[in-house]
Amino acid sequence: MMMGLTSYLLISLFLMICGIIIMIARKNIIAILLGIELILNASALNFVAYSKFVAKNFDGQIFTLFIIVVAAAEAAVGLAITIRHFQISESIHIDDATQLLA
Amino acid sequence: MFVKFLFIASSLLTIVSALSMLMTKDIMHACIFLLGALMGVAGLFLTLGADFLAATQVMVYIGGVVVLMLFAVMLTGGNELNKRGLNPVPLMGNKFTFALGVFGASMFFIVVYQLLYKIFHYFHLSVVDSYESTVEKIGRLLLTDHILAFEISSVLLLGALVGAAIIARPKRN
């Protein structure tokens, strides 16, 4: 009962809500990226829990593997953009990022 | 018994770390708490029997992404400059809009709960205690059924690496 699907879904829901609040309430670009990582982890946890309890195969785990790959790529590119933006405008406040062309 | 203990410890670690990420005012601390949350999710993967995923999570996220985040914090002026963006935004809206939001959220929750009711009440299987490695099965599936996604993800990683190197190159003067 305690380690059923429901508890995993509730933990994942909690992670998702924390990530969304961090994404909305913070104005620091790196903090927003941290929130995105939390949301991706929540979805990965959902995939693994459903593949364990409902589908009973390994498709969810493989999907989670691809989520991890995409999250790593997203973090690399996002942080590169952040560093570039810092070089140009000396700030990582999201409201200062108003220009596409440097 | 051990799995139950692992589940309780990992879920507590995840929840407490996510809450502290939400509450902290320091971006370095937020990165460290993210590490705790990812570690907790890796433990939850273990309780679900996904050992390969837990190892990948520890290697890629904790070894790669969190360290990358710390590098980015350091490269963009360290702690002092980053404090500015961490102050929360003042609340927008009035009591009416908040009440409307709470009403909408509870309606959404009720609808989703009705949709998922069956799943919540019919899948109370506990985790099997017998251990079985998933590495071989995942490897087989990756190179047979999911080979296209595998190749595309490798191209995606290459593109992301090259793109990051080009975007973050130093200014030419």
Does A58 reside within a domain? yes
B142 touches chain A (CB under 8 A): yes
Mind listing the pLDDT tens digit for each residue in B42-67? 999 999 888 899 999 999 998 889 99
Query: Given this model, what pLDDT does residue A14 score?
Result: 94
What Cα–Cα distance (Å) separates residue A34 from each residue in B33, B88, B141?
Answer: 10, 15, 31
Four-CA torsion A96, A82, B20, A63, nearest 10 degrees: 130
Give chain A's end-to-end CA distance (angstroms, integer). Answer: 56
Q: How far is A98 from chain B (nearest CA, A)?
A: 15
Does A102 reside within a domain? no
Mutation choice for B interface testing from A13, A41, A47 by most B CBs within 10 A: A41
With contact defined as beta carbons under 8 Å apart, do B31 and B69 qualify? yes
Whichever domain contains A35, its CATH number is 1.10.287.3510
Q: Which amino acid is at B22?
A: L
Question: How many independent structural domains does chain A possess?
Answer: 1
Query: Given this model, what pLDDT does residue B2 score?
Result: 80
C-alpha–C-alpha distance, residues A14 and A17, integer Å: 5
Q: How far is A28 from chain B (nearest CA, A)?
A: 4
Does A21 reside within a domain? no
Show the domain range for A57. 27-95
Does A9 reside within a domain? no
Does A54 reside within a domain? yes
Instruction: Name the 3-class secondary structure at A93.
Output: strand
Burial profile A79-94: b = 16 or more Cβ within 10 angstroms, e = fewer: bbbbbbbbeeeebbee
B146 touches chain A (CB under 8 A): yes
Mind listing the pLDDT tens digit for each residue in A13-24? 999 999 999 999
Does A46 reside within a domain? yes
With contact defined as beta carbons under 8 Å apart, do B126 and A3 qualify? yes
Contact between A37 and B149 using a beta-carbon 8 Å cutoff: no
Does A20 reside within a domain? no
Contact between A86 and B75 using a beta-carbon 8 Å cutoff: yes
B110 touches chain A (CB under 8 A): no
Mind listing the pLDDT tens digit for each residue in A52-96? 888 888 888 999 999 999 999 999 999 999 888 888 888 888 888
Of B40, B146, B157, nearest to A61 by C-alpha is B146
**ipTM value for the complex:** 0.90
Does A53 reside within a domain? yes
